[in-house]
Chains A and B, each alone.
Chain A
């Protein structure tokens, strides 16, 4: 069944993304993992579009647009973090503490 396979791939991709976010400390890799999760969701959107019509496609376009904007902002933050700490290790980012 093609739909089921696509959803399984989507779930695997999403899980890889989640585990990456949880375990990695490098901001760039973390960022890529977030993209991976977004694309996993996109994959399930297009899969379900097969069943429920064109709405899924619309959402995929919107997600991609926002992901592009998010990538721009996110990378800008990563650059300024690098300028400040000389590294992109998230261990440094503990300003929320106390």
Chain B
């Protein structure tokens, strides 16, 4: 593939990195193949997929039995190929010295309009290759898990087509060399997310959840678009490299506005306050989808965008403070809700929102490497938690199916209990992930969370960010507040995650005697990806060890990312550094908090709970948290219903129907009258024709005579 324009000599010229264009195309190929497998039987005259759920399962199961093995190979296969390519490119880059400028390749012109010239281009640098590794690596494991999880689903090929499409779009998002190309991926993952949330669309709630995700994200996309317009009108280009270097001349107001609007986009995609509301509903999709899209990759797109646009955010310290503040508030807010959720996936959903808040705290304080580090480790342990939840739901579903109790909720923690005996591998791996997310050393989450908290604390002590103000509040005070919120959130995280584990895996089983006989560990195609993620959860911390704990080479990830985000990081954070005494104290606090949280959960949630059927309605603060602060109900009352009334009363009855009456019905009336007149003339009565002829002749004669 010939490059249209070649930048000045780059160390990666002619190397394996030239193959980077293949990276998004591989999953796209998988999506097309699997899509063809979905469409082919339908085109050859077999009945549609969705008659009733049972009929559909039987019908499509029989129909696709012949092609199922192909999907099982193509779906994860293209992911493995993409991962291998990403690893190869990564090791090429590791072996290349002086890799300071990004490797940009453009393949085709997309929008050459006047001054605006946007190309289909990819940008390979330390950040994008890292994201590609996470996306394809974790993505591959989740694809393999899906082979087991979706095995008995009628829409098997359709599922893998969507999932492959998602990965392709996500790779476009991280590899795009300009804001518009990134936006294509941004919207592409939104589409794939919509399709997969509503995967079981024959139930209206699922389809509604997909719509909600799409519409809420629209608000964020508006911010992204405005930021792009602003950048273009200021710099005249939208390439990352060109725009960021041209932006140096811009006024502070431009930085502030662009950063704010970009963050609006991030808040939508990454489910931050106030646009987080779609993510809990997004759990309507299949659980591996929640693991891949709504925990590990897509929702971290906003974090990636802030890191990618770090030169913009570095120019607007007050917006960076704002980002960190929103992140901190979101982290605490979502963690409190997660305390009282009974649906196993809802706990994890709010946990994800909370952890994303942590990431925004990091990138908001200019600790981009710490944010990306937490993004990576979170991808490991949260994907593992979701896959574990998937294995649990899979087992619960099979158990209820076995006992013919289809009205029971397979996701409710109150119906579980004692699952450790039935699902030992799931239990063990999930415990590892739980300890990791709680911040217990030496697991991945401990290092990444600790680095975020340490950077916040260091910057609070003295940095350009601490000298900035947000609405008159000094940055230093805000940063100390954010640190405190982070610590409280860490405590809550340890509590709600331990609660989930205790309710699901320990104590007596509450599934019911009949059903519990059907409980079983997931097949190895599901447990092996979980074990692989568990290994990553354990060793992930070694990616970026602090100097305090030199268990190996330190700061690997920070050094790796330095050419991309280092400058912006120093602009915001200065050279803030903690002495080892303070750092040791912070680490000690964090570990103590995690252990206290686990202890509290043990003290509080060991007692048996009533099953879902026998549960007494909660009251007071528990009910408030259980209903997620009733935000959805409030929004429904203040926004959705008034909009609905506006749409039906004003837009439909007021405008649309009037237009309908005036133009459509009026036009019909004219046509009808003309038709009736014509009908009367052309009645087929010869006598009447004769009259017309005579009158016509008389009229002509009169005209000639009177002329």
Contact = CB atoms under 8 A, between A and B. Distances in A.
Contact of A22 (B682, B683, B684, B687): B687
A30 B691 CA distance: 14
A68 interface: no
Nearest to A21: B690
B677 interface: no
A93 B684 CA distance: 8
A18 B686 CA distance: 14
A21 B692 CA distance: 12
B690 A22 contact: yes
A1 interface: no
A36 B683 CA distance: 27
A43 B19 CA distance: 102
B513 interface: no
Interface string B680-707: 0011111100110010000000000000
B685 A94 contact: yes
A93 B694 contact: no
Nearest to A24: B687
B684 A90 contact: no
Contact of A96 (B684, B690, B691): B684
A97 B683 contact: yes
A76 to B, nearest CB: 17
Interface in B640-690: 682-687, 690
Greatest chain A CB density within 10 A among B687, B690, B694 is at B687
B202 to A, nearest CB: 48
Contacts of A25: 687
A91 to B, nearest CB: 8
A18 B685 contact: no
Interface residues of B, number: 9
B684 A97 contact: yes
The secondary-structure label for the interface of chain A is loop
Nearest to A98: B684
B612 to A, nearest CB: 69
Contacts of A94: 683-685
A95 interface: yes
Contacts of A18: 694
A25 B683 CA distance: 16
Contacts of A95: 684
Contacts of B687: 22, 25, 90
Interface in A7-37: 18, 21-22, 25
A39 B91 CA distance: 112
A95 B691 CA distance: 18
B686 A22 contact: no
Contacts of A21: 690
B690 A93 contact: no
A90 B686 contact: yes
A93 B691 contact: no
Nearest to B689: A96
Interface in A34-76: none
A22 B691 contact: yes
A15 to B, nearest CB: 10
Contacts of B682: 96-97
B1 to A, nearest CB: 67
B331 to A, nearest CB: 77
A95 to B, nearest CB: 7
A96 B690 CA distance: 14
Contacts of B694: 18, 22
Nearest to B697: A18
A19 to B, nearest CB: 9
A86 to B, nearest CB: 19
A97 B682 CA distance: 7
Contacts of A96: 682, 684, 686
A90 B687 CA distance: 8
Nearest to A25: B687
Nearest to B685: A94
A22 B690 CA distance: 6
Nearest to B688: A22
Contacts of B683: 94, 97
A7 B682 CA distance: 35
Contacts of B684: 94-98
Contacts of A97: 682-685
A95 B682 CA distance: 12
A93 B685 CA distance: 7
A97 B686 CA distance: 10
B513 to A, nearest CB: 76
A97 B685 CA distance: 7
Given A21-B690, A22-B687, A97-B685, 11 more contacts: A18-B694, A22-B690, A22-B694, A25-B687, A90-B687, A93-B686, A94-B684, A94-B685, A96-B682, A96-B684, A97-B683
19 contacts: A18-B694, A22-B687, A22-B690, A22-B691, A22-B694, A25-B687, A90-B686, A90-B687, A93-B686, A94-B683, A95-B684, A96-B682, A96-B684, A96-B686, A97-B682, A97-B683, A97-B684, A97-B685, A98-B684
For the complex of A and B, 3 pairs with smallest distance between CB atoms: A97-B684, A96-B684, A94-B684
Interface of A: 18, 21-22, 25, 90, 93-98
